A and B are shown apart, each in its own frame.
Chain A
Amino acid sequence: MFKAKAVSVPYLIWMAIFIIAPLVLVGIFALTDAEGSFTIENLSGIGRFTPVFARSIWLAAIATAICLLIAFPMAFAISRMSERRQNLFLMLVMLPMWMNFLLRTYAWMSLLENNGLINRFFGLFGIGPFQMINTQGAVVLGMVYNYLPFMILPLYSVMTKIDNSVIEAAQDLGASNGKVFSKVIIPLAVPGITTGITMVFVPSISTFIISRMLGGGGNLLIGDLIEMQFLGNSYNPHLGSAMALVLMVIVLFTMSITSSIDSEELEDMLI
């Protein structure tokens, strides 16, 4: 058996300094005040920001649900195609993802404005204009648009493994299309669903760009609040660290129910 433990030492040192130490610092900052003395005020004061936390969880949950609804049939349709077409369509799904995230979000800004293209289009039929930008709906739309591929891809990768013969067998045994879906396809797709949920929910709940660009600053999310405390308009890294800790708890929770923390699974998905 080949063994060479020593070569990982540089990484272990790197990890201690740049992965573990920063997180410890977040903890220390969250539990101290500007003078450096211990306090739990930062954490207990989080309650003042309940609306933001509630809004973040709520909007991210809606976005995740919509992504799931759109992506499920999509992934299934792609997984039933011929191999060459599958590749083509997968590429089409991924192409927008490779474009800069900020540019994609910016594109929606010009579409959703009061005088934007969508309202102009409605204007042709004499309806509108609707207030679309700077609303919560716009924020959800931004999340769905940016993270939809993260839902399609894991779903697709479990669905390609579903053999057509399994579906046919169910049909032969008299299952209706609906039954096939609920009894065969959905259960087999569960690992993809849970992965997809994590991959959409986590970035959605922590974003601060989407809410800033499409939400107009009136629909702050946790990410905005954290950014505000570090590089924004109210400098207070101690409060910001406390918020970051809370965000980590929420993510930990999502992870634990969707179990994506399972290491082997994560590796399988990557490769």
Chain B
Amino acid sequence: MTRSTKSSRAYLYVVFTFLYLPIFVLIFFSFNKSKSRNLFTGFTLDWYRQLFQNEMILRALVVTLAVAAIASVCATILGTAAAIGIQGMKRWSRFTVMNFTYIPVINPEVVTGVSMLLLFTSLRYFLNFNMGFGTLLIAHITFNVPYVILSVNPKFRQLDNSLYEAALDLGCNPTQAFFKVILPQIMPGITTGFLMALTYSIDDFVISYFTSGTSQTLSIAVYSMTRRKVSPEINALSTLIFAAVLTILLIMNFKDIRSENSKSGLKKKGAERI
């Protein structure tokens, strides 16, 4: 038994080295004095300074955060309303709507991206608009909504209907009953959906690539940077993102442990990408 624990531990270390080595190499070379990506010549923080002066990156960061925030709020509202409505549907219409809802989730991102591009291209024959922030936002809302619906739906299945009936019996009108009884019960699903939408938007590259027009998100800026003369600014950027993600996860994990609800919380994030 102890031998097998030892070997399994060794195995875990190997896999984690595989997962983390590239990231640590990136971080390490963000402090490199020269531009070389494989010879360390001395310590410097210059690349961080340059990063904060790089207007393209800063603007991209603003666009990314703005799109993510607006898109996930819209998607949450639209998705929650949809989930509520779908709940009341008959079996077959429910089935149909849900199947269409899965499309953006299971379709390869490239296909979603080009299909949206085709839509915007075709719409431009009739309407006068430019591709840019607006189309980017629409695309993000579209691929975010299903995640909200998928995380709110199960909460309805767990819903205790008698509470709602009781509220009605006690004199609430349906709207009041909804806000007082149902909404609190589905709230955890809404929060999960919102967080998932937010993460997706921040992380998305492929769909943004096809729909962004002139506006650049961080992912697109990174893409154009990796295609050109690569500057260690990109390493500095990676380090900062890694640090930010680590902090967020640590805080969340800490909270999770305290609320003793840690396992389900992690799983939510885990199945993040279907």
Query: Which A residues fall within an 8 A CB radius of B?
Result: 1-12, 14-15, 17-23, 25-26, 29, 70, 73-74, 77-78, 83-84, 86-104, 106-111, 113, 115-117, 120, 145, 148, 150, 153-154, 156-157, 160, 199, 202-203, 205-206, 208-209, 213, 223, 226-227, 230-231, 237, 240-241, 244, 247-248, 251, 255, 260-261, 263, 266-271
Chain A binding site: helix, strand, loop or mixed by DSSP? helix
Chain B binding site: helix, strand, loop or mixed by DSSP? helix
Contact of B81 among A8, A84, A88, A260 (CB under 8 A): A8
Within 8 A of A (CB), among B72-103: 78-79, 81-89, 97-103
- CA–CA, A88 and B254, complex, Å: 10
Say whether A7 contacts B263, CB under 8 Å.
no
Say whether A7 contacts B22, CB under 8 Å.
no
- CA–CA, A247 and B146, complex, Å: 21
Say whether B38 contacts A115, CB under 8 Å.
yes
Interface string of B180-211 (1 = CB under 8 A from A): 00100000010010000001000101100110
Residues of chain A contacted by B38 (CB below 8 angstroms)? 110, 113, 115-117, 120
Say whether A8 contacts B222, CB under 8 Å.
no
Residues of chain B contacted by A101 (CB below 8 angstroms)? 203, 205, 219
Shortest beta-carbon distance, B213 to chain A, in Å?
11
Say whether A26 contacts B271, CB under 8 Å.
no
Say whether A22 contacts B161, CB under 8 Å.
no
Contact of B111 among A116, A153, A206 (CB under 8 A): A206
Say whether A96 contacts B88, CB under 8 Å.
no
- CA–CA, A86 and B257, complex, Å: 12
Say whether B205 contacts A95, CB under 8 Å.
no
Residues of chain B contacted by A156 (CB below 8 angstroms)? 270
Shortest beta-carbon distance, A18 to chain B, in Å?
4
Say whether A255 contacts B19, CB under 8 Å.
no
Contact of A11 among B78, B174, B249 (CB under 8 A): B78
Q: How many residues of B contact A (CB 8 A)?
A: 107
- CA–CA, A237 and B116, complex, Å: 12
Q: Does B129 contact A (CB under 8 A)?
A: no
Interface string of B205-228 (1 = CB under 8 A from A): 110011000000011001100100
Q: List 9 A-B contacts (CB under 8 A).
A: A4-B85, A5-B85, A74-B12, A87-B253, A103-B234, A106-B234, A251-B107, A271-B267, A271-B271
- CA–CA, A14 and B209, complex, Å: 21
Say whether A100 contacts B222, CB under 8 Å.
yes
Say whether A100 contacts B219, CB under 8 Å.
yes
- CA–CA, A223 and B38, complex, Å: 31
| Nearest A residue to B182, CB-CB | A2
Given A3-B87, A101-B205, A107-B238, does the pair A269, B253 have CB atoms closer than 8 Å? no
Of all A-B residue pairs in the complex, the 9 with the closest CB atoms, nearest first, are A8-B85, A206-B108, A11-B82, A3-B88, A22-B115, A107-B22, A153-B270, A110-B37, A22-B119
| Nearest B residue to A26, CB-CB | B115
Given contacts A101-B203, A101-B205, 13 further A-B contacts (CB under 8 A): A1-B164, A2-B87, A92-B16, A99-B245, A102-B219, A103-B26, A116-B37, A206-B110, A260-B106, A266-B102, A266-B150, A266-B274, A271-B189
Given A87-B256, A117-B38, does the pair A18, B142 have CB atoms closer than 8 Å? yes
Contact of B164 among A2, A5, A109, A227 (CB under 8 A): A2
- CA–CA, A227 and B272, complex, Å: 25
Say whether A5 contacts B226, CB under 8 Å.
no
Q: Does B71 contact A (CB under 8 A)?
A: no
- CA–CA, A179 and B145, complex, Å: 45
Given A2-B174, A2-B178, A11-B81, does the pair A145, B108 have CB atoms closer than 8 Å? no
